Chain A
Amino acid sequence: AQTVTQSQPEMSVQEAETVTLSCTYDTSESDYYLFWYKQPPSRQMILVIRQEAYKQQNATENRFSVNFQKAAKSFSLKISDSQLGDAAMYFCAYRGETSGSRLTFGEGTQLTVNP
């Protein structure tokens, strides 16, 4: 079974600084996708970024980028120029070729942005 681990329950960053959230996963599949979701206090789950396992190039979406290390099964999220609106719970998630459409989530990292 696939597992996703986020080892940082809480992180904080100063406004305009950069922060990196860690995520590791365990799988025996070769074809899969990795996602980062943001959950603000409203509880709405918002997709931040996704990475295809067979693509070596790291995904980037504006201020958000990932460091995908397939051999190490690591998928960290970097937030540059942090803004107050980035404060939220961040979840790393996995979806594999044999797991149907289900997403497997990590336990989350609560990010605080200090003004």
Chain B
Amino acid sequence: NAGVMQNPRHLVRRRGQEARLRCSPMKGHSHVYWYRQLPEEGLKFMVYLQKENIIDESGMPKERFSAEFPKEGPSILRIQQVVRGDSAAYFCASSPEIRTGAEAFFGQGTRLTVV
């Protein structure tokens, strides 16, 4: 059973370009979470999705950021018109259920560098 797969591992974008980060959850997992890790900091929650639904986007910046988890295919985190401050590691996690103690399995992250 493959783990949570994120791609690309590294992404370089110029200021003003769009960044698309992909996350394929573990097989059988229908809950996906995105976190952002700025340099020298802990992970900060961004958004929680189930198939075709955004459940909690309270951690998402109001502009330029969007996320989706379609019925078929991976979850996508999209950042439009990237700025230097968007440079960070973006982690995806998945779990099979919403139970409070359920383990969230993390991908290896995508390191976005904006130049």
A: residues with CB less than 8 A from B are 4, 6, 31-33, 37, 42-47, 50, 52, 91, 95-97, 100-108
Closest to A31 in B: B100
Collect the chain A residues with CB atoms within 8 Å of residue B56's CB: 100-102
- Verify A50–B101 contact, CB threshold 8 A: yes
Collect the chain B residues with CB atoms within 8 Å of residue A43's CB: 89, 108-109, 111
Q: Give bound CA distance, A107 to B97, whole Å.
A: 26
- Verify B108–A33 contact, CB threshold 8 A: no
- Verify B100–A32 contact, CB threshold 8 A: yes
Collect the chain B residues with CB atoms within 8 Å of residue A102's CB: 33, 45, 48, 56, 59
- Verify B98–A101 contact, CB threshold 8 A: yes
- Verify A101–B43 contact, CB threshold 8 A: no
- Verify A103–B43 contact, CB threshold 8 A: yes
Closest to A100 in B: B56
User: How far, in Å, is B106 (CB) from chain A's closest CB?
Assistant: 4
- Verify A105–B106 contact, CB threshold 8 A: no
The residue from A4, A45, A96 contacting B91, defined by CB atoms under 8 A apart: A45
Collect the chain A residues with CB atoms within 8 Å of residue B109's CB: 43-44
Collect the chain A residues with CB atoms within 8 Å of residue B55's CB: 100-101
Identify 26 residue pairs between A and B in the complex whose beta-carbon atoms are under 8 Å apart, listed by A's number: A31-B100, A33-B100, A33-B101, A43-B111, A44-B109, A45-B106, A47-B104, A50-B101, A52-B101, A95-B101, A96-B100, A97-B100, A100-B55, A100-B56, A101-B55, A101-B98, A101-B104, A102-B33, A102-B45, A102-B48, A103-B35, A103-B93, A103-B104, A105-B42, A108-B41, A108-B42
